[in-house]
């Protein structure tokens, strides 16, 4: 027997049109984004490479940070689709949103889900005001895809944790106020046990940050060394030694959003402006890419609305970032020999391998889809 509410839903046609209010919000966001680009410049991959504290303050003043967070925690209490619209306009235009991006996308929602009242009071206002920048300390030299093998330790000593170890590829570490650190508080039991999440102010003595310059000359990610770094045990978020599930949930925020589809949309637009649209092969490519943009947007929308099956953000991330890589290939083909000139277009192209690595590689996303979405066995079955 199909419940009544589902029977009613079935009789409704699927409506993909935006409401007047949503169109109005999109129009406003587009203007703000264009204005920001005019004042601060256009950035490739602007959610990770477009850093402007000033623009974060402006976003905060517009109520566009923490848009969807509950009102009782200072958020806007607005539907996820509105954040999607604003973020889509900002990133498509290349506006510099990165100074507040991790806090807004990930740290705020994670603290709301797992933090103590004191932590919410201490850390949410800075994120909402656009004044605090966060970095995420997960990956280590010997622990990337296999996060459970991480070794950075936090040992209890009275009312403090004493932290020792090294992180790598930590985006924003050189400019962040806080690190959301994933570390080991116990080495007992299986590897994924004993993992905890601790907030570390980046001005704590004992932290050394070394910036890494990538091929495109970006310097957002860093090595971070922790030597006897003391933070109060009250900075522990959630369950001590039981944070692996928390971290996996946090990664869902990181993987299913519009930032995974539109990182290099500015590059796509620039390539389109130079493309010979009468060339049959170019037209085939354009049709393929435009189709993928539309499919990707549907996947993102489903992820953002929380309507996908378990771990669906892995599918969204995998499809969308592989599309971003193809966008860069298209730009290279369109530019031909000009692609070797060192300009923002070339920088955008050489950054492309990062898309399917950061936030978890495509191989790992496919493992997650297989095991958690499709329920396939973890190991090959012996014949
Ligand atoms: C631009 C950028 C920004 C980043 N920012 C951050 C950040 O802010 N904070 C942070 O903590 N990290 C960050 N990272 C690191 C990123 O999360 C890791 O690079 C990623 O998880 C992969 O880990 P790894 O580099 O150690 O590669 P490895 O895990 O060593 O993987 C190497 C290869 O083996 C494959 N592989 C590994 N395990 C499996 C498996 N089980 N099944 C199939 N294939 C497998 C991978 O797909 C890959 O091809 C960033 C990376 C990039 C590129």
254 is catalytic: yes
pLDDT at position 15 = 76
CA of 149 to the centre of ligand 1 (A): 13
CA of 137 to the centre of ligand 1 (A): 13
pLDDT at position 383 = 47
d(CA 380, CA 383): 9
Whether the CA torsion 88, 91, 94, 100 is positive or negative: it is: positive
CA of 31 to the centre of ligand 1 (A): 36
The CA distances from residue 169 to 104, 139, 295, in Å, are 20, 7, 30
Choice among 19-33, 107-121, 301-315 with the minimum mean pLDDT: 301-315
270 CB within 6 A, ligand 1: no
**Residue-wise pLDDT tens digits, 22-71:** 999 999 999 999 999 999 999 989 999 999 999 999 999 999 999 999 99
Catalytic choice (54, 254, 290, 371): 254
CA of 362 to the centre of ligand 1 (A): 9
d(CA 260, CA 291): 16
Q: What is the mean pLDDT of residues 243-272?
A: 91
171 CB within 6 A, ligand 1: yes
Report the percentage of the chain scoring pLDDT > 70.
Answer: 95
For the ranges 150-159, 212-221, 249-258, the maximum mean pLDDT occurs at 150-159
Least Cα distance to 115 among 97, 127, 133, 131 occurs for 127
Are 365 and 317 in contact, with CB atoms under 8 Å apart? Answer: yes
**Residue-wise pLDDT tens digits, 198-238:** 999 999 999 999 999 998 888 999 999 999 999 999 999 99
Alpha carbon nearest to ligand 1 atom 2, residue = 358
Q: Is the pLDDT of residue 382 over 70?
A: no
Phi, psi of 113 (to 5 degrees): -75, -40
363 CB within 6 A, ligand 1: yes
d(CA 306, CA 295): 17
d(CA 322, CA 107): 26
Choice among 7-16, 20-29, 103-112 with the minimum mean pLDDT: 7-16
pLDDT band at 306 (very low <50, low <70, confident <90, very high): confident
CA of 277 to the centre of ligand 1 (A): 37
pLDDT at position 165 = 98
Alpha carbon nearest to ligand 1 atom 39, residue = 364
**Which atom of ligand 1 is nearest the CA belonging to 182?**
11
133 CB within 6 A, ligand 1: no
311 CB within 6 A, ligand 1: no
Exposure b/e, 137-150, CB count within 10 A at least 16 = b = bbbbeebbeebeeb
Mutation pick for ligand 1 pocket among 322, 358, 362, 378 (CB with most ligand atoms within 8 Å): 358
Largest CA distance in the chain: 71
d(CA 379, CA 47): 37
204 CB within 6 A, ligand 1: no
CA of 167 to the centre of ligand 1 (A): 13
Q: Is the pLDDT of residue 86 over 50?
A: yes
**Which atom of ligand 1 is nearest the CA belonging to 146?**
29
pLDDT at position 185 = 96
d(CA 103, CA 69): 12
166 CB within 6 A, ligand 1: no
357 CB within 6 A, ligand 1: yes
139 CB within 6 A, ligand 1: yes
Structure tokens at 70: 């509950």
């Amino acid at each position: 027997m199909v419940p009544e509410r589902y029977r009613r839903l079935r009789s409704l046609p699927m409506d993909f049109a935006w409401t007047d209010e949503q169109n109005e919000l999109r129009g406003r966001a587009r203007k703000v984004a264009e204005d920001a680009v005019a004042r601060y410049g256009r950035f490739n991959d602007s959610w990770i490479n477009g850093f402007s504290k000033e623009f974060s303050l402006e976003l905060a003043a517009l109520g566009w940070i923490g848009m969807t967070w509950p009102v009782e925690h200072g958020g806007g209490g607005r539907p996820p689709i509105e954040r999607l619209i604003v973020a889509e306009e900002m990133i498509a235009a290349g506006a510099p949103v990165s100074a507040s991006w991790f806090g807004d996308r990930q740290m705020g929602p994670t603290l709301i889900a797992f933090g103590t009242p004191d932590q919410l009071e201490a850390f949410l206002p800075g994120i909402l005001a656009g004044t605090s920048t966060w970095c995420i300390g997960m990956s280590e030299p010997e622990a990337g895809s296999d996060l459970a093998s991480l070794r950075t330790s936090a040992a209890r000593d009275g009312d403090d944790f004493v932290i020792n170890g090294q992180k790598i590829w930590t985006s924003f570490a050189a400019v962040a106020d806080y690190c959301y650190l994933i570390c080991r508080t116990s080495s007992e039991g299986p590897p994924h046990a004993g993992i905890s999440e601790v907030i570390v102010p980046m001005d704590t003595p004992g932290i050394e940050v070394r910036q890494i310059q990538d091929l495109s000359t970006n310097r957002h990610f860093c090595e971070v060394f922790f030597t006897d770094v003391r933070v109060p045990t009250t900075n522990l978020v959630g369950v001590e030694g039981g944070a692996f599930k928390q971290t996996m949930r946090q990664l869902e925020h990181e993987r299913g959003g519009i930032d995974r589809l539109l990182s290099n949309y500015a590059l796509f637009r620039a390539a389109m402006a130079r493309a010979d649209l009468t060339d049959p092969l170019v037209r085939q490519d354009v049709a393929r890419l435009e189709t993928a943009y539309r499919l990707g947007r549907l996947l993102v929308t489903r992820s953002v609305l929380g309507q996908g099956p378990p771990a669906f953000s892995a599918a969204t991330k995998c499809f969308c970032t592989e599309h971003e890589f193809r966008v860069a290939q298209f730009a290279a083909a369109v530019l031909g020999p000009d692609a070797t000139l060192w300009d923002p277009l070339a920088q955008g192209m050489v950054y492309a391998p990062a898309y399917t690595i950061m936030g978890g590689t495509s191989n790992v996303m496919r493992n997650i889809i297989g095991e958690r979405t499709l329920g396939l066995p973890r190991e090959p079955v012996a014949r």
